[in-house]
Structures are given as structure tokens and as C-alpha cells.
Amino acid sequence: MEISGAQSIHRAIVLLRAIASRGRAGSRLLDLAKHAKLKPPTAHRILRCLVAENIVAQDPETHRYRLGHLVFELGLAAAPQFNLREIVEPSLRRVAEKTGDTAFLTARSGFDTVCLDRQEGAFPIKALTLDVGTRRPLGVGAGGMALLIPLADAEVERIVAANGTRLKDCGKLNVPIVVDMIARGKQLGYALNDRQETPGVISIGVPVANRYGPPYAAISVGAISSRMSGERQKEIAAIVKSEVRALEKRLAEAAGA
């Protein structure tokens, strides 16, 4: 019984992560069941329990599932313990002001990434490619690629391969394309996303170093392609790198290093 209970909790968490990855669009039962490798009746039974507890909400018209209000409330309760967004916000705002474009804070969550914050620059045409709270497979987007750049090649390949079946939902992506883009990022010293997900948008990402292990956050900038000439890509990368280095120093001081 104990093993069965633990298994049910694990399945519920897998379903919640899948729902979170779809954001406001919501998720269909069949898609969730396939993602969690569950039979639809089993997935439906778990989802029904989550809906009853307000952890998941179901749209009465489309029948799609979204995160429920209790998740928001729990997030508010946990926020004081995880104040990364608060610490990074001034840096993110400066990046947006200096570039005029949209800056994003991305954090790693297992084999996923989560957009923690977004700051908009003054340029009137904005690349709002991510909403705060959006989950994506690790390796997708400039922030997701940046988080993998410091890792060993074998580890990069392992992570991207594990997300392989999910990449098809992120534009025209596959494992070789993502691995090649990360390899290019290792050479450049920053992630350059000019082939992924959102047509007409180019983004650049830099990882925030973690002295205790792999990076857990990255800052990226997204802009329409016409504003991302080769020379400007380098300028934006330099701006982001400068802010990230200063941020790393502040984080080390906050940790008592």
C-alpha cells in the first residue's frame, strides 16, 4: 500500500509538470496520459482528485486542464524561501533598459526550465516569447541552452536525449539540432537561439554560475530578428555577461562567501 501511494504521488507530480509546461493553453487528457505513460482512465482518476483539491482546474468548455488556485497559494507561501527572482530583478531590469528588448530570468527545474521573471525594454516591438511561470524542456530557448553550456558534452547529450520526445512540440527541434546549438554556444561563450521555436525572434542567453555545482539560472534577451545583426548579438551578449558577472558576485556575498 505504501509503494502504491508513493507511485500515485509520483504520477500526480508528472501530470502537474506536464500541465505547467502548457501554461494558459491548457492540456488535453489524452496528451497528459501519453506524456505520463498512463492509461487515460488512470490519468483521469488522478486529475479528478487534483481538481477536487484545487491543485488543478478544468475548463468547463474545452475540458482542458490548467494549474489550480492552490498551486498559486502554495507558491506564495514558498516564495520567501526562494528569493532568486527578487535578487535578480535589478539586473534583469538593467539588461532590458540597456538593450531596449525583453529580458528573461530562467531557472532549472530537473530536466525542465521555468521562466521566473520578464522585464520589457523600451523598443515598441517586443519579443514576448515566454510568460512568467512557463515550463519548457531543458535545452529549449536561449536560457535553457545557456544552462547546459557549462556541462560536460556527455551530460548535455544525456539531458537533451531524455527530452527528445518533447522537442517536437517546441518548433522544428530534435536532439542533434539542440546538441549542435549548445556546442556552438560553448564556442561563443553564450547561447545563441536563432533556430528554435519562435520564427522571427533571436535570443541570447548567459548562465549564472553556481560555485556549488551546475548553474541553476540564466539571463537571456529576446528581440525581433531585424534587431539582431551579428554585431548587435555580440553587443547584447557583452551586456548580459557584464550583468551576470556582477550578479554572481552579489549572490556569493548573499551566501556568505
Tell me, what's the pLDDT at 88? 92
Predicted confidence (pLDDT) per residue in 31-82, tens digit = 999 989 999 999 999 999 999 998 999 988 899 999 888 887 777 666 655 6
Say which CATH superfamily domain 82-254 falls into: GAF domain (3.30.450.40)
| Residue 30 to residues 18, 36, 39, 48, 168, Cα–Cα distance (Å) | 12, 10, 9, 14, 17
| Residue 100 to residues 8, 125, 227, 233, 241, Cα–Cα distance (Å) | 47, 10, 10, 13, 16
Is CATH 3.90.1150.10 what the domain over 2-74 is classified as, yes or no?
A: no
C-beta of residue 104 within 8 angstroms of C-beta of residue 118: yes
Look up residue 206 and give its three cell numbers: 548567459
**Cα separation, 194 vs 196, whole angstroms:** 6
What is the pTM assigned to this prediction?
Answer: 0.70
Report domain extents, the chain. Answer: 2-74, 82-254
C-beta of residue 135 within 8 angstroms of C-beta of residue 20: yes
